[in-house]
């Protein structure tokens, strides 16, 4: 593998199951099947989703599972004790089974990492902890917040890919190998739950295709760049609209001693202690019950060399600086220095509701140090606003869940915006820097690994440019990290440095990925925007229709009209 390569998991192509799954679930919803006498369980369904007796007969299990990506895993889950206790609801049974398997894998990861130095084992233990919470959130909210449940299941599945990638760098041992097997199996069980949930949603809505729900009507002015996506509160909107000096923070960081703390890490620790009431419960998807108040940390101008990490329990945290180039957070951690891709991040946020505004977030390890992340974002409904994010390979790891990036400057070399989130970049400056000789300059590496994940990258009204030292190195819009990668570039200016081919094949990819990915362009401008020379892969859409482009807007891809408006971030809901 090249020094700029990245591990790539492989999954078999999934059958076009959407319509079939919806029809099967609808049919079963109107059928009451006698319980298997051998099981002695006469419980009947009462959930109102898929109303079959508990447990389903082998015939119905086979019928349900024949159209999901992993039929064998599906049959195992729906034949389990958890499924027999699930009142005949296949989604509930499969997800409860996935929770039990995730809990077992987490226990093994914790045991293995307890006596080991920081490594991929520790990354996996944390990822599995988050997974358990996300699965429980999806189970609890599958009906009330269907899109949220799809997001959390998609994120839980992404966690297994990341865990597997981290374990690949851990020396082989019986324990590591056993954990890899458990994580691989867990991914198939989560994929089954995701497929069943999407099938339920389509059955209720009567939709047989598409995986992004219709956008709610935007608030007045929502179609212009003068309002903010509505999933952020009115309080958060005011925070983002206000200068840093007008905000009343919970902590102030100043190197000269004029604040409450001299480092960002110290301020986060203090806020953590103050904002953790007894009995607060961490939630991987939706938040910390009982501790949801916004916590604001004001970081005064200065250069802070430290690694800052927020756990998934630390939600609704806002870091606000004095502006790009004024408040600077930097580090030098990299793969070459022995760090994992997660621990290399200068700033890592795992909790939901994260906001950062007016800061420069850098990783200065250098172009020859391999993966060296500046910013890692994992939490749902996170916002990065008016920031500079600058490194070389793997600058921004937009890992999972729903994110919004606005008015940011993002610079790097290889795959410098990567991950498997649903993320919209609006009004951002994307700059390709000079890589190590022989390396490609690639903007995106999207990691969608399952056809039911509601993830993708959208670049809307951005600028893609070259750093002055780039020379004649061509810039590619993206390459498929995993086989269902999804990226759209819309109404964006592209300099001549963008290669006429537009997109680059992954060096180790299954050729079928070129058919299953989705790369689209719509209404772009500039000398690099001409599409007549683009690669001719089946998954490349050189000129999307307006209807196709709408699927990648704030209102559709990240359900932005339901949560961004309260943050104060200005956005355009539609095209």
Which CATH number belongs to the domain containing residue 550 in this structure? 2.160.20.10
Q: Are residues 375 and 238 in the same domain?
A: yes
Q: Are residues 249 and 155 in the same domain?
A: no
Looking at the domain assignment, is residue 215 inside a domain?
no
Contact residues for 448 (Cβ-Cβ < 8 A; gap 6+)? 420, 455, 456, 482, 484, 485, 486
Q: Is 8 helix (H, G, I), strand (E, B) or coil?
A: coil
Q: Are residues 485 and 396 in the same domain?
A: yes
Q: Are residues 182 and 300 in the same domain?
A: no
* 464 within 8 A of 494, measured Cβ to Cβ: yes
Q: Are residues 70 and 195 in the same domain?
A: yes
Q: DSSP per residue over 184-240, as a string?
A: HHHHHHHHHHHHHHHHHHHHHHT--S-SSPPPPPPPTTTTTTTB--TTS-HHHHHHH
Beta-strand relationship, 327-330 and 302-305: parallel
Within 13 Å, how many C-alpha atoms sit on residue 566's CB side?
13
DSSP conformation class of 351: S
Q: Are residues 342 and 270 in the same domain?
A: yes
Using alpha carbons, select from 190, 239, 197, 166 the residue that is nearest to residue 11. 190
Report the CATH number that the domain containing residue 114 is assigned in CATH. 1.20.140.40
Q: 195 lies in which domain range?
A: 58-201
Q: Are residues 193 and 297 in the same domain?
A: no
Question: Given this model, what pLDDT does residue 386 score?
Answer: 96
Question: Given this model, what pLDDT does residue 52 score?
Answer: 41
In 399-548, beta strands by DSSP E: 402-406, 409-412, 417-419, 422-426, 429-432, 441-446, 456-460, 463-466, 475-478, 486-490, 493-494, 518-522, 540-541
Q: How many residues does the chain have?
A: 575
- Tell me: the pLDDT tens digits for 166-179? 999 999 999 999 99
**Low-confidence residues of the chain: pLDDT under 70:** 1-56, 205-232, 276-292, 508-510, 566, 568
DSSP conformation class of 271: H
DSSP conformation class of 571: B
Question: Given this model, what pLDDT does residue 565 score?
Answer: 72
Looking at the domain assignment, is residue 223 inside a domain?
no
Q: Are residues 194 and 243 in the same domain?
A: no
Q: Are residues 536 and 437 in the same domain?
A: yes
Report how far residue 8's alpha carbon sits from residue 483's, in angstroms, rounded to the nearest whole number: 9
- 519-549 in b/e form (b: 16+ CB < 10 A) is bbbbbbeeebbeeeebbebebbbbebeeeeb
Using alpha carbons, select from 96, 428, 290 the residue that is nearest to residue 443. 428
Q: Which of 201, 226, 254 is the last residue of a domain?
A: 201
* 517 within 8 A of 548, measured Cβ to Cβ: no
Question: Given this model, what pLDDT does residue 560 score?
Answer: 81
Q: Is 441 a catalytic site residue?
A: no
Looking at the domain assignment, is residue 284 inside a domain?
no
Q: Are residues 429 and 481 in the same domain?
A: yes
Question: Given this model, what pLDDT does residue 219 score?
Answer: 38
Residue tagged active-site, from 415, 441, 449, 450: 415
Locate 130 and state its tokens: 């988050």
Looking at the domain assignment, is residue 266 inside a domain?
yes
* 154 within 8 A of 131, measured Cβ to Cβ: no
Report how far residue 212's alpha carbon sits from residue 250's, in angstroms, rounded to the nearest whole number: 38
Q: Which of 150, 183, 201 is the last residue of a domain?
A: 201
Report how far residue 494's alpha carbon sits from residue 233's, in angstroms, rounded to the nearest whole number: 34
* 322 within 8 A of 386, measured Cβ to Cβ: no
- Could you identify the residue written with the tokens 């993966």? 371
Looking at the domain assignment, is residue 499 inside a domain?
yes
Q: Which of 178, 201, 224 is the last residue of a domain?
A: 201
- Tell me: the pLDDT tens digits for 356-386? 999 999 999 999 999 999 999 999 999 999 9
Contact residues for 436 (Cβ-Cβ < 8 A; gap 6+)? 3, 4, 367, 368, 413
Question: Given this model, what pLDDT does residue 531 score?
Answer: 97
Report how far residue 109's alpha carbon sits from residue 179's, in angstroms, rounded to the nearest whole number: 7
Report how far residue 465's alpha carbon sits from residue 329's, in angstroms, rounded to the nearest whole number: 24
C-alpha of 456 from chain center: 9
Looking at the domain assignment, is residue 374 inside a domain?
yes
Q: Are residues 452 and 507 in the same domain?
A: yes
Question: Given this model, what pLDDT does residue 7 score?
Answer: 58
Number of domain units in the chain: 2
Contact residues for 437 (Cβ-Cβ < 8 A; gap 6+)? none
In 210-354, beta strands by DSSP E: 251-253, 295-299, 302-305, 308-310, 317-321, 327-330, 347-349
Question: Given this model, what pLDDT does residue 283 score?
Answer: 58
Report how far residue 459's alpha carbon sits from residue 422's, in angstroms, rounded to the nearest whole number: 11
Q: Are residues 252 and 149 in the same domain?
A: no
Looking at the domain assignment, is residue 432 inside a domain?
yes
Looking at the domain assignment, is residue 20 inside a domain?
no
Question: Given this model, what pLDDT does residue 21 score?
Answer: 52
Q: Please provide residue 327's backbone torsions phi and psi, each rounded to the nearest 5 degrees.
A: -100, 110
């Amino acid at each position: 593998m090249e020094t700029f390569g990245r591990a790539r998991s492989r999954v078999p192509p999934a059958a076009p199951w959407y319509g079939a799954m919806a029809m099967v679930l609808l049919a079963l919803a109107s059928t009451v099947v006698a319980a298997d006498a051998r099981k002695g369980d006469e419980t009947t369904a009462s959930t109102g989703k898929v109303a079959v007796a508990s447990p389903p007969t082998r015939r119905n299990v086979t019928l349900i599972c024949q159209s999901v990506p992993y039929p064998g895993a599906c049959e195992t889950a729906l034949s389990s004790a958890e499924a027999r206790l699930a009142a005949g609801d296949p989604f509930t049974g499969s997800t409860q089974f996935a929770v039990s398997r995730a809990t077992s894998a987490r226990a093994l990861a914790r045991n293995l990492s307890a006596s080991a130095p920081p490594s991929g084992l520790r990354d996996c233990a944390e990822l599995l902890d988050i997974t358990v919470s996300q699965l429980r959130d999806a189970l609890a909210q599958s009906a009330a917040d269907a899109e949220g449940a799809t997001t959390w299941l998609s994120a839980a599945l992404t966690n297994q890919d990341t865990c597997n990638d981290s374990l690949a760098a851990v020396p082989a041992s019986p324990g590591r190998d056993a954990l890899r097997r458990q994580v691989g199996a867990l991914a198939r069980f989560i994929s089954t739950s995701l497929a069943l949930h999407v099938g339920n949603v389509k059955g209720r809505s009567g939709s047989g295709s598409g995986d992004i729900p219709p956008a709610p009507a935007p608030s007045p002015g929502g179609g212009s760049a003068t309002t903010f996506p509505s999933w952020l509160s009115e309080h958060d909107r005011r925070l983002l609209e206000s200068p840093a000096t007008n905000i009343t923070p919970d902590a102030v960081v100043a190197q000269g001693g004029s604040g409450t703390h001299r480092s960002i890490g110290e301020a986060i620790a203090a806020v953590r202690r103050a904002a953790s009431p007894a009995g607060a419960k961490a939630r991987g998807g939706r938040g910390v019950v009982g501790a949801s108040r916004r916590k604001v940390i004001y970081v005064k101008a200065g250069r802070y060399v430290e690694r800052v990490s927020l756990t998934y329990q630390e939600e609704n945290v806002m870091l606000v600086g004095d502006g790009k180039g004024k408040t600077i957070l930097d580090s030098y951690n990299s793969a070459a220095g022995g760090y994992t891709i997660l621990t290399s991040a200068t700033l890592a946020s795992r909790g939901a509701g994260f906001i950062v505004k007016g800061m420069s977030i850098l990783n200065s390890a250098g172009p020859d140090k391999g993966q060296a992340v500046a910013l890692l974002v994992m939490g749902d409904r996170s916002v990065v606003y008016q920031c500079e994010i600058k490194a070389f390979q793997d600058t921004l790891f937009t890992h999972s869940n729903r994110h919004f990036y606005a008015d940011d400057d993002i610079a790097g070399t290889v795959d410098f915006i990567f991950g498997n989130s649903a993320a919209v970049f609006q009004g951002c400056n994307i700059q390709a820097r000079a890589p190590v000789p022989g390396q490609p300059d690639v903007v995106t590496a999207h990691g969608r690994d399952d056809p039911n994940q509601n993830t993708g990258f959208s670049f809307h009204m951005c600028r893609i440019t070259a750093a002055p030292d780039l020379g004649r190195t061509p810039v590619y819009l993206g390459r498929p990290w995993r086989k269902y990668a999804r990226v759209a570039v819309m109404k964006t200016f592209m300099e001549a440095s963008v290669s006429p081919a537009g997109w680059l094949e992954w060096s180790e990819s299954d050729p079928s990925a070129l058919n299953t990915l989705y790369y689209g362009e719509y209404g772009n401008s500039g000398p690099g925007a001409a599409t007549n020379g683009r690669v001719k892969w089946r998954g490349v859409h050189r000129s999307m229709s307006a209807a196709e482009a709408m699927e990648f807007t704030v209102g559709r891809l990240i359900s932005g009209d339901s949560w961004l408006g309260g943050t104060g971030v200005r956005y355009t809901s539609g095209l």
